[in-house]
Amino acid sequence: MQPQLFTSSLGRLIGASLLACSLVTLSACSKNEDTARQKQIEEPPTSTEGAAGTADQPEKSAPMADKGAPESGVDYHSFANTSDYVVKHLDLDLTADFDNKVLKGEAILDIKRLTQKNPELILDTRDINVTAVRAGMGDNLQPVKFTMGETDPHLGTPLKIKLPKGANRVAIQYQTSPGASGVQWLEPQQTAGKKHPFLFTQAQAIHARSFIPLQDTPQVRMTYKATIRTPEELRAVMSANNDPEAELDGVFEFEMPQAIPSYLIAIGIGNLDFKAMGERTGVYAEPELLEAAAKEFEDTEDMLEVTEENFGPYRWDRYDLLILPPSFPFGGMENPRLSFITPTVIAGDKSLVALIAHELAHSWSGNLITNASWRDLWLNEGFTTYLTNRIMQFVYGDERYQMEMALGYDDLKADLDDRDDKDEIMAIDLRGRDPDEVFSNIPYEKGSLFLYELEQKVGRENFDKFLMEYFNHFAFQSITTEDFVKYLDQTLLKQYPDKLDRERIQEWIFNPGIPEGAPQPTSDAFTKLDPIREQWLNGEIKASDIDTKGWTFHQWKYFLDGMPEKLSEDQLKELDSAFDLTQSKNNEIAFSWLMIAVRNDYEPANARLEDFLVSIGRNKFLRPLYRNMVENGKTDEAKRIFEKAKSGYHPLTVKVNSKIIYGD
Ligand code: BES
Ligand code: ZN
């Protein structure tokens, strides 16, 4: 572990331009105002200090050997020397070679030089084969020398490019590897139509570097243009200006005029059709899923409108959804203008559409205001989870709102039960760690609960006004936790000194657990189920006597998740035969039930468990199920199913679950 830590720290040191900064005079360094974030951060109005995460920081981060606290604004997960250069625009030309499972082509980066000196340009890559690099000014690009640095197991390999003096453009010819961590190549068998292959990328957190050599850090924002070449029968879409009318001729052109961080660059290729849901919203999906998806998500346009009304304009033009095959490792991903969505939420009754509200909400929190490093992820996910609940209330009413909030709170408590203290801190220390492996509910639900407390204290109307101004103030910028706290200082804390205090804010963000006296969301629709569950457990009533007519998905989930650790074989059989849980078509309910089945050795659910694990790649389900199997003495069975399913899993799914199953 130690040597590994050292390598990534070293990479990080280079990435933060520690070395570059120690070579030039400090004043030159601190005068350099156009570093990645300083360029993008407009100082809050009354602040006297510079924004964090800039060229004058390395001084503070010098004692890396004894670790200390992570430095605000430093991206420990990128090699890029963003104090020397920042990428402003990307021109991508890629061919998707489905036979060899590689993306092949060229990335041209327009760079802005921030120093007087002429250091190497350091980019992030992972398993990319770079074949040639040219650099120069404008269209006059000449071949230049480049080297691949030492590979770090978490961060990939730095690509170091010698630039001619004055160069403002670099063209990199390259090819991805078939196992690229951010790309999944699907066989026709893994799609809904079973006839055509499919490709999708998933760049967050640090996987853009596996399909584009670039500055893979959320502190740098760029516009992009892309040409994507595909087999003729397929359609390509991106996190850009998609044209549903684009001819299927094997060449697709895209433009993304709003500057975005690298983790929001995304490509999808498949047998895709389009259906409009509203004026600004629509769905891309395989024809087999298109109608069902458009129906399930028909409220998307309403969600967009209420969010705009309450939190400020939608700044991305269109909002479309891309429905992916079930191997997609997440529920959804907020790629700008085109959220990527798992098909496993098409339940037929809109019960799982909070996912759409969530990905849409990222158009404000995350895509408009972006976390400056992965330590600040809670700024993306906590705000988004808070907004999700609000959107659900606007569109579906108070009862749904209460239930969504209460389920989120229960998720948080469950996570707090089995996590180390240090990982319960919102501004989490990720140094030397792979962000994929530290993923939890903390940034989501603790972040959201914190904002809910602020709302409760200052009143909803005042808090909404604050949020609207916040989104406007930091629009199209990347900010740190400290930037946010500073902004709070200047706004809510100043306006409501009798209601809020800085200490409490610090406690929420920098201490483990939930601060005492925090709100505890509950729902009447849930609490009325407690005595029913209790009566059934005590044998006072039969499962078939419970009147479940009209129960929502949320109530089912609450009812099942509240079951004790151990149930008897008879109890399991009774529940299953009364409610047909093993065959539930709602994947969330099936998941809750399978968790119970695994920990109680309920054999009749084994076939469904296997089918579920093989056919769905969403890690929110797979990780707990595999972990549960391992913890309940079913490691061999977990291995057997994992080996069977593996070839269909996304690289990320393989990585995180093989850790659970094989412990490596
Ligand atoms: N941006 C996340 C997914 C993500 C986070 C990918 C961190 C990689 C690193 C996305 O918006 C998300 O949160 N998805 C959730 C949605 C759920 C909370 C409604 C998911 O996939 O389960
Ligand atoms: Zn999210």
The Å distance, Cα 66 to ligand 2 centre, comes to 33
Where do we find the tokens 């309910």?
589
- Is the previous residue joined to 605 through a cis bond, with omega within 30 degrees of 0? no
Neighbours of 19 (CB within 10 A): 13
Which of 471, 11, 1, 457 has the alpha carbon at shortest distance from 206?
Answer: 11
Ligand 1 atom at minimum distance from 342 CA? 21
What is the 3-class SS of 351-398, one letter each residue?
CCCHHHHHHHHCCCECCCEEECCHHHHHHHHHHHHHHHHHHHHHHHCH
Q: How far apart are CA 332 and CA 345, in angstroms?
A: 10
SS3 assignment, position 323: strand
- pLDDT tens profile 118-132: 899 999 999 999 999
Q: What is the pLDDT of residues 462-515, one digit of tens each?
A: 999 999 999 999 999 999 999 999 999 999 999 999 999 999 999 999 999 999
Q: Which ligand is nearest to the CA of 441?
A: 1
Catalytically active residues are 359, 444
Which ligand is nearest the CA of 591, by number? 1
Return the H-helix or E-strand segment holding 296. helix 287-296
| Cα(473) to centroid(ligand 2), Å | 21
In this predicted structure, the answer to whether residue 36 has a pLDDT above a threshold of 80 is no
The 10s digit of each residue's pLDDT in 281-333 is 999 999 999 999 999 999 999 999 999 999 999 999 999 999 999 999 999 99
Distance CA 159, CA 536 (A): 62
Going by DSSP bridges, is the β-strand pair 235-238/251-261 parallel, antiparallel, or unpaired?
Answer: unpaired
**For the chain, percent of residues with pLDDT exceeding 90:** 89
CB 417 within 8 A of CB 465: no
The helix/strand/coil state of 207 is coil
Query: What pTM does this model have?
Result: 0.92
Closest residue by CA, ligand 1 atom 19:
355
pLDDT tens per residue across span 514-561 = 999 999 999 999 999 999 999 999 999 999 999 999 999 999 999 999
Q: What is the pLDDT of residue 37?
A: 55
Out of 381, 415, 430, mutate this one to test ligand 1's pocket (max ligand atoms within 8 Å of CB): namely 381
